[in-house]
Chains A and B, each alone.
Chain A
């Protein structure tokens, strides 16, 4: 399964200056595992100390929210994943 995962430009420095990353997996969780194997520094950005996705991020699959239980959601070849941080500044 080849999935295109997009992260905010803010985090590109942890991913070899890339914002679009190809990952493999049949669930969101598996895709994240592949992401962290490629770019280990992203793990501490997105996961809490218990290994769960921090609540400060939302996951979208092909532009639609994956909430709730995001990590268990299935994905298929060609899907696009987005990791979107909660922001509050004004």
Chain B
């Protein structure tokens, strides 16, 4: 049941055709696990918080650095050297006091992912490296939890949504490829765009609206201001979701 204040706060989205109070109730009950509180995690968590997602768990092991502030809009000058999760929780609770926000300052590993993602309705990939993205993807497949991938570099970004057992997964796209981990260039507007696409996918999944970005990889090139859509298919030999993995 939505309170009078919630009905007013979310009035403009409750007005949406097909959304209504029912959609808002679904968001309120939802549990979203956001892996990363950086460039992507900032817009993802902000827009999910203001949309009224009732339970947000955000995980990041880093502390805020000055060089983060060109893009990580959850964090401000006053937060430098503070844990990103502490900074995030304070901001998100101020943005929307009605929701539950939990920050966990841990490194995501194969050992702790089951615990971190426990009871999540959806996992959002806002990481800054491929190995952890694969850990998230595999856990999502194993636990049958939808997964929303996003990544950026410079003026370029991409996103896709994975519905385990039904659509191509991240490993189907990248085939386990890893690349040397280097400091990457990025301008804040790029993760803003991609993070908002990811947050949109989460809202659509929870409310059951629209068509998800499944079996499609959307690629955003800001310099040419183009979106390209690539078709991706489930790889039957995929080490994460292929036939051999189905038990």
Which chain A residues have a beta carbon within 8 Å of chain B's beta carbons?
Answer: 6, 8-10, 12, 19, 55-56, 58, 60, 63-65, 67-68, 82, 84-90
Contact = CB atoms under 8 A, between A and B. Distances in A.
Contacts of B157: 87
Nearest to A84: B219
B126 interface: yes
Given A9-B155, A9-B156, A90 B38 contact: yes
B17 interface: no
Given A9-B224, A84-B230, A87-B151, 16 more contacts: A6-B228, A10-B156, A19-B224, A63-B229, A63-B230, A65-B230, A65-B231, A65-B233, A88-B129, A89-B128, A89-B151, A90-B36, A90-B38, A90-B40, A90-B41, A90-B126
Q: Across the A-B interface, give the 4 residue pairs with the lowest CB-CB distance, nearest first.
A: A9-B223, A87-B153, A89-B184, A90-B128
A64 B230 contact: yes
Contacts of A67: 175
B191 interface: yes
B134 to A, nearest CB: 10
B1 interface: no
B242 interface: no
A56 to B, nearest CB: 5
B119 to A, nearest CB: 24
B16 interface: no
B107 to A, nearest CB: 14
